Amino acid sequence: MTDDNSILHRINGLVAEEHDLRTKHAAGQVDDADEKARLRALEVELDQCWDLLRQRRAKREFGDNPDDAQSRSADTVEGYLN
């Protein structure tokens, strides 16, 4: 992901996949374990995308190059509240 628009495009794709997964689960096309595992993976990737987008916006706001923002690991992003 190289710019804000591509990150937002990825976020929208992940959200659409999440909605599709929930619809399929409700229709009995996806079992509980598969839904739970994929939802967790989607959540982590969404958190990473939002984190990267926030980094880019902060760098831009303070006169830094937003392209210097780096995607952080899942462990880092998911550990913010701990």
- Give Dmax (Cα) for the chain: 50
61, 55 in Cβ contact below 8 A? no
Two structure tokens written together for 7: 């990150």
Residue 82 in domain = no
Q: Kindly tell me if the per-residue pLDDT of 40 is higher than 60.
A: yes
**How many residues belong to the chain?**
82
Dist CA 13 CA 36 (whole Å): 18
55 pLDDT band, cuts 50/70/90, is very high
Q: Kindly tell me if the per-residue pLDDT of 1 is higher than 60.
A: no
82 pLDDT band, cuts 50/70/90, is low
**Domain count across the chain:** 1
79 pLDDT band, cuts 50/70/90, is confident
Dist CA 60 CA 48 (whole Å): 18
Task: List pLDDT tens digits, range 18-29.
Answer: 999 999 999 999
- Domain extent at residue 42: 4-75
